[in-house]
Structure 1
Amino acid sequence: MASASSSLSGFYAYTDTLKGVHYGPGCVKTALPKLLATVGGKKALIVTGKTLSTATDVVRTVENVLREHDAYGATFYEIGQHAPIAGIRNGVKAFKDVGADVIVSVGGGSPIDAAKAILYFIQQETGGRCLPQIAIPTTISAAEYTIGAGFTNEQGDKSGVASQELAPAGIILDAELTLATPERLWLSTGLRALDHAVENLYRRPVPIPIKYLCYAAMADLFAYLPKSKANPQDVEVRQRLQIASWMSLWPMKNEKHGAVGLSHSLGHKLGATYGIPHGITSCLTLASVVSLKAEVASQQDKEALAAALFYLREESTGSVEGDVRKLASLIQQLVDNLGLKSTLSQYNVPKHDLPKIARLALGNDNDPLVNNVIAVLQGIY
């Protein structure tokens, strides 16, 4: 009875920091000036990655918009995969050197998280308010909707900071700016969004309306990721995927700072340590974790996962556990059909590390699920 009543209780509020999300093909030209005016930004430091800055027109497009409104400061592109701390420190220096008062991040989760960390460290130094970020994502990993910033410390381990103030003040979803994103990165971050949507179904505390957004996100990700692979230049499909990513991780004021669930926790332990992109970690772990949930999850969580079949227009197997296993199978089929299937051995993860990874992901050496999670990792090895 307590379990059922707890699912009907909760709280929802938008993040204090987020002032607006603009979306639509080509919207950056009008959205960026509006958001600059809203947040009071006079001079922007663009934070991005080297490839996006030097090998595409995406960053130049953003630079030109800023120049037209006399708000361009400089472009900083020393942000690598998993946002190494050295790049973040250099970003703090670049922000100060140019006299910036706002960051415009362009790219995937690494530059967006790096921008949060840069602003966090500047705030720690000054003791003032956290300066704003306007995020322009070119992947669908959804880092722009969270209050946390993950980065890689000097030891190569994942670290992070979190604060309500770190949520981007503005977000621009312009699908035209995603056309240069490599296919594997684009599609795998779509699986990352699916990972958010699935794990939010059993995350505590996620209010009921958000869970229905997650079901809608799952349906759109299943529908439009294959279409995007078939026709990568279809901007409308890409725009729908950006919106699905938004629905998969809808901003919540009462957001907890930990991992969304076991698949995410495993991804955090695998990603930075072994150099595996976060989108690919979701391709590796999500289906197997959902399959495990069919055996070990609470009845409430099993029912939440099983209900996804209705939104995916799939027939029930006749049992809750069977439906959860079917969902796991559908996720794996999607990964395979998108050409994203891989193994831990392909990324040179030592087999003897699997027990350690399982324990770190669970956060407790004595967790009763340790052996189950080791078996999951062995299954994707």
Structure 2
Amino acid sequence: MAKFIVPKEIYHGIGSLENVKELKGKKAVIVIGGSSVKKNGALQRTQAYLAEANISSVVFEGVEADPSIETVLKGAQFFSQEQPDVIIGLGGCSAIDAAKTMWVYYEYPDSKLEELAQPFAVKPLRNKAIFVAIPTTSGTGTEITGLAVITNTEKGTKHPIVSHELTPDVAIVDGELCKSMPAHVTANTGLDALSHAVEAYVSNIADRYNDALAKNATDLIFNYLPTAVSEPQNEEARQAMHDASCMAGMAFTNVWLGIVHAMSHQLGGTFGIPHGCANAILMPNVIRFNSQVTDKYNDLAAVLGKTNAEELAEEIAALRSKVGTISSIKEYGIDEQVWADHLDQLTENALKDPCTLFNPRVPKAEEIKAIYQACFEGTAINF
């Protein structure tokens, strides 16, 4: 028996931001990152639609690229002052993930990050507010998922918070909001969406519902990501990528992810490598590792007109190159000795990451370390 959980309402398509005026409530706090949602008009339009719905709004801004627990606590304090009954995460994954976690602390002020990072530890939400997610990047699918990733800057580690309680009540998937994304952000977030589709498809609890979404998301990404990178104003490509990100998010929030993400979380927390970039570096070698125990990669290869896992890994590497993303960890500028000094800790943390629980193949420490080392060098690995 399985369960399929997504937001109660999903509005999608060019212009779907207008559905903000269908919300019910008295006061909204809108959580944003920097100035991009101001420059592209998304914030002003959101507030105007809220006003049409007779909902007052205030803004919490300044969420960093990898949202920290310090920022989350500041946001939760702001919520306590403003007492919203609607929380809106507007922007990239960072803004929405931070808003989700602020929501937890708003309803449960005594929460502890390390405790929340235990699987399914979040208590029932919606006692004070509902949650609305409006993404302006096409990658994480956070508008659809029960997942938030928060950084403990003191320890240099990322903590995934996993709970269906975090699934937004309303998601608005409007590709028009993505047209101002720079090429490198489009590439990295698109590859992140691909990693969600691929890992969800081979999850050890995968099922038909999520397989269909993951497979179609893979097809869309290979067809539209290069165009979205090279033609940022192309609305068809932007909406296709936004839909693909959302579909991949629907898949993985129900069957979760694997060691690509378990390992990538450490690379981001320790070295600041952008999440989608790290995922894209890791994916081919993780496919080679996992393909020893599952034939499902062959299905994804068939979507691309290929026949097996190795060809899928090679196609992903080719797409990575086509959209201008680096192919090895060392290309990010990490010194070999610094890498060697951190390798054992990276491995230990990856094995403890909740995503590892859903990988199709149970990894040993030496296997994680071998994948890391091959990806540092940018070489293919044999298992």
Note the C-alpha offset of 1:272: 2.0
Residue type of the alignment partner of 1:261: G
TM-score, normalised with respect to structure 1: 0.85
Q: Residues 354-374 of structure 1, C-alpha deviation per residue, up to 9 Å, x if partnerless? A: 343233223399535245324
Question: What's the offset of the Cα at 1:148?
Answer: 2.2
Matched with 1:149 is: 148
> Which residue number corresponds to residue 310 of structure 1?
302
- Structure 1, 133-142 or 205-214: larger mean CA deviation: 205-214
Provide the residue aligned with 1:326 in structure 2. 311
Cross-structure match for 1:273: 270
Structure 1 counterpart of 2:272, which letter?
G
Contact 2:9 2:171 in 1 (8 A): yes
The residue that corresponds to 1:89 in the other structure is 73
Equivalence for 2:339: 351
Report what 2:359 is aligned to: none
- Whether the aligned pair in 2 keeps the contact of 1:44 and 1:104 (CA below 8 Å) is yes
1:147-171 deviation per Cα after TM superposition (whole angstroms, max 9, x unaligned):
1221112423212433322211100
Provide the C-alpha distance between the structure 1 equivalents of 2:208 and 2:215, rounded to a whole number of angstroms: 11
How far did residue 215 of structure 1 move?
1.2
Deviations 1:120-159 (A, max 9, x none): 0111139984321100001122122221221112423212
Secondary structure in 2 aligned to 1:192?
helix
Deviation per CA, 1:280-302: give whole Å up to 9, x if none.
111221122223334xx31xx2x
SS in 1 for 2:301: helix
Please point out which of 12, 26, 32 is paired with 2:20. Answer: 32
Structure 1 residues 45, 345: closer, same or farther in 2, change over 3 A?
Answer: same
Who is 1:7 aligned against?
none
8 Å contact kept, 1:12–1:207: no
How big is the shift at 1:42? 1.8
SS at match of 1:146: coil
Question: Could you say if the C-alpha distance between residues 212 and 25 of structure 1 is closer, same or farther in structure 2, counting changes exceeding 3 Å?
Answer: same
Partner of 2:119: none
| 1:127-142 equivalent positions in 2, closer than 5 A | 129-130=125-126, 131-140=129-138, 141-142=140-141
CA deviations over 1:78-102 (Å, ceiling 9, x no partner): 2101111111111112222223111
Give the conservation status (yes or no) of the 8 Å contact 2:90–2:133. Answer: yes
Change (3 A) 1:128 1:122: farther
Map 1:1-381 → 2, pairs under 5 A: 10-15=1-6, 18-29=7-18, 31-34=19-22, 36-37=23-24, 41-125=25-109, 129-130=125-126, 131-140=129-138, 141-155=140-154, 156-250=156-250, 255=255, 260-294=257-291, 297-298=292-293, 301=294, 303-314=295-306, 316=307, 323-349=308-334, 350-352=338-340, 353-363=342-352, 367=365, 369-380=367-378
- Unaligned stretches of 5+ in structure 1? 1-9, 317-322
Moved more, 364-373 or 281-290: 364-373
Corresponding residue of 1:319 = none
Q: CA deviation at 1:70?
A: 2.8
Preserved CA contact (<8 Å) 2:143 2:167: yes
154-163 vs 206-215, which moves further: 154-163
Partner amino acid for 1:46? I
How far apart are the structure 2 equivalents of 1:333 and 1:345? 19
Which segments of 5 or more consecutive residues in structure 2 lack a partner in the other structure? 111-122, 354-362
Aligned to 2:120: none
Q: Choose 184-193 or 152-161, whichever is displaced more.
A: 152-161
Cα deviation code 1:299-342 (max 9, x no counterpart): xx2x100121221123x3xxxxxx21110000000000001125
Q: Structure 2 vs 1, CA of residues 128 and 210 (structure 1 numbering), >3 Å: closer, same or farther?
A: closer
Q: Give, in angstroms, the shift of residue 53 of structure 1.
A: 4.1
Give me the whole-angstrom Cα distance separating, in 1, the residues matched to 2:259 and 2:108. Answer: 31
Q: Deviations over 1:183-218 (max 9, x none)?
A: 211221110010011111221212123112211111
Paired amino acid for 2:313:
A
Q: Deviations over 1:229-251 (max 9, x none)?
A: 23211112111111111221216
Cα distance in 2 between the residues matched to 1:128 and 1:199: 28
| Partners of 1:12 and 1:252 within 8 A in 2 | no
Which secondary structure does the structure 2 equivalent of 1:158 belong to?
A: strand
Change in 2 beyond 3 A, CA 1:206/1:22: same
What fraction of aligned residue pairs are identical, expressed as a percent? 27
Quick one: distance in 2 between partners of 1:201 and 1:261?
Answer: 10
The change in CA–CA distance for 1:280 and 1:51 in structure 2 (over 3 A counts) is farther
Cα shift at 1:111: 0.9
Taking the aligned partners of 2:198 and 2:255, their CA distance within structure 1 comes to 16
Aligned length, in residue pairs: 350
Shift in Å, 1:252: 7.4
Q: In 1, distance between residues paired with 2:350 and 2:55?
A: 43
- Equivalents in 2 of 1:191, 1:378: separation in Å? 18
TM-score (norm 2): 0.84
The secondary structure found in structure 2 opposite 1:89 is helix
* Partner SS state of residue 287, structure 1: helix
Confirm or deny: 8 A CA contact 1:201 1:214 kept in the other structure: yes
Distance 1:129 1:341, change over 3 A: closer
